[in-house]
A = this chain, B = another copy of it.
Amino acid sequence: MDKSPEVLLELVERLGNLLRAEFRRAGADEQLQPVHVHALVYLTRANRYSNTPQAMAEYLGLTKGTMSQSLLLLDRRGLIERYQDDLDRRVVRLRLSTSGEQFLYDAQPQSAWQHATRNISPNRIRNAVSALRETLTTFQSDNDGQPFGTCNGCRHFERLSARAYRCGLMGDRLSGPEARKICWLYEEKGGGVEEDEE
């Protein structure tokens, strides 16, 4: 009987807690809750399709009502800016304000973690990443949640030339940096579960 999956669960749980505590510490000066810090971090990593309240709520596992509250607070504190989408006027777009960027720069909510992996060889880290990534994918398809991946590996990702990319779903051209950001339209490429188009 192998207990490894349980142990892995426990480690992820435990590290998740510590990360949360770290976010709490990082936000303490500004009176921010962990979820607020997490929201700001998310904004630095979300691509142009994913900088909306809804995508953020999915990502953080909250309802849209709850999300709305947190965004209200971040807006009041001047850490984010909200503006309307040109094409669909129901949609609100989000971005970090200058002081939001400054806050993340000062608080460095992720540095303690980065530091904690310093003794582990890149190869072991890559192995761990691959195992966890697969777990995440399985977990998400089991619970049919939004996927949230980056472009490489996405079914809609098209390479036009050496440096030019394109999202086949939205039809937009993408810059290299943008192709590395988080997208909530992500869909697993090949071999996966068929989508029912009805």
Interface residues of A (CB under 8 A from B): 2, 4-21, 24, 38, 45, 59-61, 110, 112-136, 138-140, 142-143, 145, 148, 193, 195-196, 198
CA separation between A124 and B159, bound complex, in Å?
31
Docked-complex contact B12 and A132, CB < 8 angstroms: yes
Apart from A10-B45, A16-B19, A124-B195, what are 11 other A-B pairs with CB-CB below 8 Å? A8-B125, A9-B19, A11-B133, A12-B16, A13-B16, A15-B16, A17-B60, A118-B138, A120-B135, A121-B195, A124-B131
Most buried by B among A61, A115, A119: A61
Copies per complex of this chain? 2
Contact yes or no, A143 B112, CB < 8 A: yes
Chain B residues near A134: list those with CB within 8 A: 119-120
Residues on B with C-beta less than 8 A from A59 are 17
With A and B bound together, what is the CA distance between A132 and B4 in angstroms?
A: 12
Look across to chain B and name the residue whose beta carbon is closest to the beta carbon of A35: B17
Residues of B contacting A116 in the complex (Cβ-Cβ under 8 angstroms): 135-136, 138-139, 142
Q: A131–B120 contact, CB under 8 A?
A: yes
